Structure 1
Amino acid sequence: MHEGCTVNQTVRYLSKKWMLLIILELYKGDGYTRRFSELRIALHGITPKVLSERLRELEDEGIVTRKVDAGVFPVRSDYSLTKSGLDLVEVIRDIKHWALKWKIDNIPCGEQDCKQCIL
């Protein structure tokens, strides 16, 4: 595949471990927002270092925005999906529907919106 291919460029960062799950966890938050600590708890097995790296990459891609409140201790970091991030949730939902149709027999998941789905 050509290095400049749109699919190649997009898959390069979206296929990194935890990327899509972070996006889904943000989608589940009030106002599509979650604190760093909430994401760590929700994403069993992710290290703080990897979560920080992935959030920074998503922010660099314009998929997530970060708001820091340094006036509290510990410092509070809120992460929110942008319009681009919300559009990406639709793509993730399409992937889920494809998987349920063709690859994965998961009846309970098939009836749930990803906002309510427990992964």
Structure 2
Amino acid sequence: MRKPLPADMFDELCPSSLLPMRFGDKWAPLVICCLEGGPRRFSELRVPLWRVTPKVLTQSLRSLERSGFVIRHAGQAMVEYELTPLGRSLLGPIAVARDWAQEHWDELLDAREAYDAGLTGSVAGRKE
């Protein structure tokens, strides 16, 4: 039996929300991370991805399937999603990007706060 995915796998303070690049849509890297341990049912993916509506999660899974990152296994009783070898090849780059975001977490948050406050010149290193 597979270990369940933790509900707080991607909490609101998760560095993945600050990734400077995207693999597919906004949620694709999170879906890919959820599938790292093996095939998962849609309902299993919904646990850590509770902020994603079912419709958007379905769209993300279809997009990942279309791009060759995920394969959909439809059995009589259930449907599971699994990473393809191409999808698995993204785990390394996603981990590097996640580590980078975690390392620069404070800088990223400061930049966003400054931008929202209208102070982009001083944070971005540009002279006004």
TM-score by length of 2: 0.61
* Partner residue in 2 for 1:50: 56
Q: Provide the secondary structure at the position in 2 that maps to 1:80.
A: strand
- List alignment gaps of at least 5 residues for structure 1: 1-10, 106-119
The equivalent of 1:113 in structure 2 is none
Aligned to 2:105: 104
Instruction: Give the letter for the 1:18 counterpart.
Output: W
Query: In structure 2, what residue type is equivalent to 1:52?
Result: T
Amino acid at match of 1:85: G
Deviations 1:52-100 (A, max 9, x none): 1110100000000010112x2xxx1100001111110100011122223
Q: Per-residue displacement from partner, 1:29-64 (whole Å, max 9, x unpaired)?
A: 3xx211111001221211111111110100000000
Residue 14 (1) aligns with residue 23 (2)? yes
Q: Distance in 1 between matches of 2:51 and 2:28?
A: 14
Residue 14 of structure 1: SS of its match in structure 2? coil
- Identical pairs, percent: 41
Q: Report how many aligned residue pairs link the two structures.
A: 86
Runs of 4+ in 1 over 6 A off after TM superposition: none
Q: Which protein has the larger Cα radius of gyration, Structure 1 or Structure 2?
A: 2
Q: RMSD over aligned Cα, in angstroms?
A: 1.7
Which has the larger share of helix?
A: 1
Instruction: State the match for 2:35 in structure 1.
Output: 26
In the aligned structure 2, how far is the partner of 1:52 from the partner of 1:24? 16
Segments of 5+ residues of structure 2 without an aligned counterpart are: 1-20, 107-128
User: What letter is aligned with 1:23?
Assistant: I
Secondary structure at the aligned position of 1:79 is classed as: strand
Contact in 1 for aligned 2:34/2:45 (Cα 8 Å): yes
Contact 2:71/2:81 (<8 A) preserved: yes
Query: Aligned letter for 1:62?
Result: G
